[in-house]
Amino acid sequence: MKNIIISMALIAITAASCNSGSDNTSDKSIKSNDTNQVNNSSAATSNNTNTNVAGSMQEMVSQYLQIKNALANDNGNDAATAGNAFVESMGKMDKTNLSADKKKIWNDISDDAKEMAEHIGKNAGDIAHQREHFDMLSKDMYDMVKAFGTTQTLYNDYCPMYNNKKGATWLSETKDIKNPYLGKKMPTCGEVKEEIKQ
């Protein structure tokens, strides 16, 4: 009888310690799952932020290219429409989760780019004035694309003849030169200086 009582006590102690060990494992598993969910949530937020920024940038690049193509075709009205759309696209940029460095870059460039696009939008009847502001907008767009990336390959083109031979650059979606500064007067004046890959 004494042996049975001792055996029962040992079984009870063993069972209790086994249950205790499995609870710890279960707790660790739960904590591990919680950590994974937090990490996955962080990664999802980061991916969403990157996707939002890329989407906003792509919209701005698209509007910029419409301005460029309109000016290359000597069409101030279409350039003005695209300029206004560019300003709207800038307002959609999601800056909330940008790093401090990226926020600084955005803040340094965005006001100037917006002002240039606004001038293009308000001056449909003055294509020479639009082209002056497109020159400055192109510098801002180059900096933005370099900082925030692009979802398409772009070409940084250069025209040596514009602005009394001071020259000017612009971004293009094709290798073929379509000069937005000289339009139909000298449509192929220029060269590709850099290929910017996605």
What are the boundaries of each domain within the chain?
49-196
pLDDT at position 50, please?
61
Q: Output the pLDDT for position 42.
A: 40
Q: What is the model's pLDDT at position 184?
A: 96
Following CA atoms 183, 124, 153, 58 in sequence, which dihedral angle do they give, to the nearest 10 degrees?
180
Average pLDDT over every residue of 73-95:
95
Q: Specify the range with the lowest mean pLDDT, choosing from 32-46, 77-91, 179-193.
A: 32-46
Region 124-144: what's the mean pLDDT? 97
Q: Report pLDDT digits (tens) over 140-164.
A: 999 999 999 999 999 999 999 999 9
Reduced 3-state DSSP string for the chain: CHHHHHHHHHHHHHHHHHHHHHHHHHHHHHHHHHHHHHHHHHHHHHHHHHHHHHHHHHHHHHHHHHHHHHHHCCCHHHHHHHHHHHHHHHHCCCCCCCCHHHHHHHHHHHHHHHHHHHHHHHCCCCHHHHHHHHHHHHHHHHHHHHHHCCCCCEEEEEECCHHHHCCEEEEECCCCCCCCCCHHHCCCCCEEEEEECC
CA atoms within 13 A on the CB side of 63: 24
Q: Tell me: the pLDDT tens digits for 8-53?
A: 444 444 444 444 444 444 444 444 444 444 444 344 334 444 667 7
Q: What CATH number is given for 49-196 in this structure?
A: 1.20.120
